[in-house]
Amino acid sequence: MTDTNSIVSGVAQRYASALFELALEGGALDAVSADLDALEGVIAGSDDLGRLVRSPVFTSDEQVRAITAVLDKTGIGGLAANLVKVAAKNRRLFSVPDMIKGYRVLLAAHRGETRAEVTSAEALKPEHVAALKDALSGAAGGKDVIVETKVDASLIGGLIVKIGSRMIDASLKTKLATLKVALKEVR
């Protein structure tokens, strides 16, 4: 399974790098970023589209036709649309979510930003996100930190913060699991 993940990451990174270079040359970094954000939202909001992206059952032509229709309907065009169509034609549509992440990493590095993924048990209030952003900025050497939030109710409480290669798991779920293991060792 690890080999598959590294292959997907390699494929996605090559596509993301190509897209970034084209967007940089064309002065379209923000436009491409907005289109990729929209595409990610559309994929996340549709189980059928998610299946189309992930499933190897669909032929290349079926994927190209379907994704072209989605792109046209949502108004996503330009370089981002071309990337997705090429990925579909080459049977790489499954790696589009990783391509989007790869593009964001490249864009953040270009801008001198750092991305942090924060997962909480419930949606964070704007003031909490701002405080977290300030704290993470200090830990990141003063770089501007872009905070992406996710909600995972199974955490019960607390946060999981991923920034760069570091992860801090201060969730109640993990603390309870650790306590459970410790209690088993006591017996």
Helix (H/G/I), strand (E/B), else coil: 113: strand
- Statement to judge: residues 19 and 101 lie in one domain: yes
pLDDT (0 to 100) of residue 165: 82
Residue range(s) defining the domain that contains residue 87: 2-107
| Least confident segment among 8-12, 24-28, 34-38 | 8-12
Q: Which of 107, 136, 170 is the last residue of a domain?
A: 107
Confidence of residue 46 (pLDDT cuts 50, 70, 90): very high
Q: Which of 24, 48, 36, 106 is nearest to 77 (CA)?
A: 36
Q: What is the pTM of this model?
A: 0.74
- Statement to judge: residues 95 and 173 lie in one domain: no
Q: Does residue 5 carry a pLDDT above 70?
A: no
pLDDT (0 to 100) of residue 33: 96
